[in-house]
Structure 1
């Protein structure tokens, strides 16, 4: 009887250990989304202007692994299983860097994530207030940006403006939301490039 009891206890312990192991190796059910960049940053060595793109800053609710969804006028829900593949501020900076380098043909745009270069003639600063979807089916992207000259005498603000962009999401789901947010990023880069080119007489 005692031998059977010991055997039963041993089997029970083994079963519990196997159960615990199976729980720890369950596959992650999260889905990861990337802000793709179609533009390749050109290596411009002889450019008329050199612009430093400071790392984009974002509102605190955006600085999360989960994608944000506005559920009412004053409520934001952060997804648990629909996640950004990289930090949103880094992704937005990367996309703007690539697109601005292609749109501003006479300027070299440096990614300021690596630090400031001494040859920067201008500085572009962007802050994002809103970057999310809504339950009403909209993608929302807003904030402000500033373009300033930089020299030994200090910085002079040349452009200081807000942007408020939104567009309907074509399909339900986070994949369509991320795709629409990516399109809004392109709209912002086009607006920035147009105004900067006008300021620099490009």
Structure 2
């Protein structure tokens, strides 16, 4: 009888350990803390497609499905993080950009529309969309960057490299 009780207690302990919910983890883009240029001439706005507007990171699991992570979340709204990161990258190339969320009522003169910003089952990340200047000119982009390693941290490093390329393509 003791053996049965011990086995039952061990099984219950094992099952409760397996049932523990995974912890929520928060992620930041590596370059998302805005560093203001000496003079701001251009206000940058980023507009996200609906799936990107969630708080979870996106990962394409097969040719037809995109998974929005439930426990791996953005530490700040993705639209703001991308606006700051992209402004920083453009400023390092000689631009004078400020994210619209920090521009206190100024109208954007460069708007970047993103429809993809995600990891994929192919082992790379994808960023696609287009940039529109206030004069109406449009520059489309589609960037794929190899992901080095597994996990969301490696995915963010790859997405950050992809943003470097997007900045090169849309720089005025």
| TM bin (shorter chain) | 0.7 to 0.9
List 4+ stretches of structure 1 deviating above 6 A: none
Note the C-alpha offset of 1:43.
Answer: 3.8
Superposed CA offset, 1:6-65 (max 9, x none): xxxxxxxxxxxxxxxxxxxx99711111002188634424x8xx21212x1111111111
Query: Which of the numbers 125, 130, 133 marks the counterpart of 1:144?
Result: 130
Q: 1:186 and 1:33 mapped to 2: Cα distance?
A: 18
Superposed CA offset, 1:70-102 (max 9, x none): 112221111122111111111100101122222
Q: 1:72 and 1:134 mapped to 2: Cα distance?
A: 8
Residues 40 and 81 of structure 1, relative CA distance in 2, 3 Å threshold:
closer
Note the C-alpha offset of 1:143.
Answer: 0.4
**1:120-135 matched pairs, under 5 angstroms:** 123-135=109-121
Residues 65 and 39 of structure 1, relative CA distance in 2, 3 Å threshold:
closer
Query: Which of the numbers 61, 73, 86 marks the counterpart of 2:63?
Result: 73
Note the C-alpha offset of 1:116.
Answer: 3.9
Q: How many pairs align? A: 152
Is the 8 Å Cα contact of residues 52 and 116 (structure 1) preserved in structure 2?
no
Is the 8 Å Cα contact of residues 44 and 99 (structure 2) preserved in structure 1?
yes
Is the 8 Å Cα contact of residues 39 and 102 (structure 1) preserved in structure 2?
no
Q: Which residue of 1 aligns with 2:146?
A: 168
Residues 77 and 40 of structure 1, relative CA distance in 2, 3 Å threshold:
closer
Is the 8 Å Cα contact of residues 33 and 84 (structure 2) preserved in structure 1?
no
- TM-score normalised by length of structure 2: 0.78
* Structure 1 unaligned regions, length at least 5: 1-25, 149-155, 197-202
Q: 2:121 and 2:162 mapped to 1: Cα distance?
A: 18
Superposed CA offset, 1:113-137 (max 9, x none): 13443xx8x8111000001111221
Q: Which residue of 1 aligns with 2:50?
A: 60
**1:100-115 matched pairs, under 5 angstroms:** 100-104=90-94, 107-113=95-101, 114-115=103-104
Q: 2:149 and 2:99 mapped to 1: Cα distance?
A: 33
Q: 1:168 and 1:39 mapped to 2: Cα distance?
A: 24
CA RMSD in angstroms, aligned pairs only = 2.3
Mapped pair 1:86 → 2:64: no
Q: 1:136 and 1:43 mapped to 2: Cα distance?
A: 37
